[in-house]
Structure 1
């Protein structure tokens, strides 16, 4: 039987060629616990930051999945694929070597800000209970609805020509739920030459950076971020006294505490995370409690 190995948030730098679920499985073995979840996956070809919750800290993942993100990527203009990335089969080729920088800049600008994006048909979105990528691989028609996302930064930092294609190295800051593959596809379509993603790296999730992440070879020894440190990094901090901490842990409403936003991280006098609280009229009440650490 696997024994537990602490609780907290683990930042991992995923390598290319493995799935996010492979990384979770390795972390379970390395940390000696089955209770590990994630705050969003990466495709096998992608590298970069995975945010894992270990033990009771998996309860915090609900408050991390919606954080905005930063990616570095390479988009190949002049080729389309059936998956919108380099893992798929090329379905069309168009000479993109003559694209003017101004035309590319205008296309990038049209895809910056709030946009309606149709996810890739090989995404993990469920359609009638089945993953879209399972339907696509089975040869079934996949129709996904457009969703509103926000691209707050879409910047070309380098460009190269390659066999009639134009490769763009880009940096993208975006809201949760954005598909960078779809952004590559849509830029190519807008410019009339087709496009797909050939490299992707996630460098940031909310306040967490890949530069602080452990490699998959260091999962056993990697230091966990405490639930309190993580919670106050993404939510307002709310200091509770001993009586308030006891009442919140017992599920009671507490008066006399105020905060901005829908949720806050309630912190006990010893610095531990009591839980995530929400307003109930003029009082507050725990929306999620963390188990109290043994003395």
Structure 2
């Protein structure tokens, strides 16, 4: 059962809720995930099962793709629809050209202050716990990369009571790990002078893994668990090793002069039986194991 399980998380559940469901469905306590999704968000959650939880550290930092809806004209204290409205501004004057011009500085390598209601730890406590307790939270800006921030659709709506117009943008974002889409919504609204927040968020990709191949929350017991060898090879590249080389790696020995056999710094070492031996890394001209899989997953 050791491997990686892709799950399409529904809205209204925490990532921990999904892990708990998977533990019951698969009959094991050893399950972790690579990258939290807020309860409001839907989409791809990558779970590691049993020994493959070791691979999550190589997955969590991969680039991601999100589909989202940003509402301009309304700000909230959480930068998404789960928060309390803090300000409203009529956005009727907004043009498509203005919006696209404001998006441009939010692409590429940017400095971003995460949302106050985030899972980042401040003094050992989660920022969202501090915010909900009424404490002031100041998070430091961090460098992230937004390689794509495209508007797919644009809609306007005028409130029957307030008479104020909001603009909804359906967007797709390709970004580095650690990017907050809520913060992009907030910063876009701020740069346009009308405020903004996120009303919908769906993660569709993490590295080579796509939500199209994910199981629903109700089908976890029968879902396909991808093998550690296939997953590690997809993420890091594959190095086929002989049985003797596999034994040496498991015993902590180097593969002398084998560094040129991998194009990058690391790779997944796979034995003749198709079993993942572990992750190897270059050490000069040699290869050395950076992480071995547990012995129970070895032949």
Greater alpha carbon shift after TM alignment, 237-246 vs 39-48: 237-246
Q: Summarize deviations over 1:183-212 as a string: whole Å, max 9, x none.
A: 000000011100000000000000000010
The Cα shift of 1:278 comes to 1.2
1:22-101 matched pairs, under 5 angstroms: 22-101=17-96
Does 1:20 pair with 2:21? no
1:144-293 matched pairs, under 5 angstroms: 144-163=139-158, 164-258=165-259, 259-292=262-295, 293=297
Q: Distance in 2 between matches of 1:294 and 1:234?
A: 20
SS in 1 for 2:290: strand
Q: Distance in 2 between matches of 1:61 and 1:29?
A: 20
The Cα shift of 1:262 comes to 2.4
Q: Distance in 2 between matches of 1:14 and 1:97?
A: 35
The Cα shift of 1:294 comes to 6.2
Query: Is the 1:236–1:265 Cα contact (8 Å) retained in structure 2?
Result: yes
Query: Is the 1:238–1:257 Cα contact (8 Å) retained in structure 2?
Result: no
Q: Distance in 1 between matches of 2:115 and 2:56?
A: 25
The Cα shift of 1:265 comes to 0.6
Query: Is the 2:276–2:298 Cα contact (8 Å) retained in structure 1?
Result: no
The Cα shift of 1:237 comes to 1.2
SS in 2 for 1:108: helix
Alignment partner of 1:143 out of 138, 145, 148:
138
Summarize the Cα distance change of 1:294–1:179 in structure 2 as closer, same or farther, 3 Å threshold. Answer: closer
The Cα shift of 1:272 comes to 1.2
Q: TM-score, normalised by structure 2?
A: 0.95
Q: Distance in 2 between matches of 1:12 and 1:25?
A: 13
The Cα shift of 1:111 comes to 0.6
Q: Which stretches in structure 1 are left out of the alignment for 5+ residues?
A: 1-5
Structure 2 partner of 1:3 = none
Q: Distance in 1 between matches of 2:284 and 2:173?
A: 39
The Cα shift of 1:236 comes to 2.1
Q: Distance in 1 between matches of 2:264 and 2:34?
A: 21
Query: Is the 2:275–2:298 Cα contact (8 Å) retained in structure 1?
Result: no
Q: Distance in 1 between matches of 2:99 and 2:285?
A: 52
SS in 2 for 1:124: coil
SS in 2 for 1:107: helix
Q: Which stretches in structure 2 are left out of the alignment for 5+ residues?
A: 159-164
Q: Distance in 2 between matches of 1:230 and 1:257?
A: 22
Query: Is the 2:277–2:298 Cα contact (8 Å) retained in structure 1?
Result: no
Q: TM-score, normalised by structure 1?
A: 0.96
The Cα shift of 1:28 comes to 0.4
Q: Summarize deviations over 1:44-81 as a string: whole Å, max 9, x none.
A: 00000000000000000010010000000000000000
The Cα shift of 1:270 comes to 1.4
1:106-121 matched pairs, under 5 angstroms: 106-121=101-116
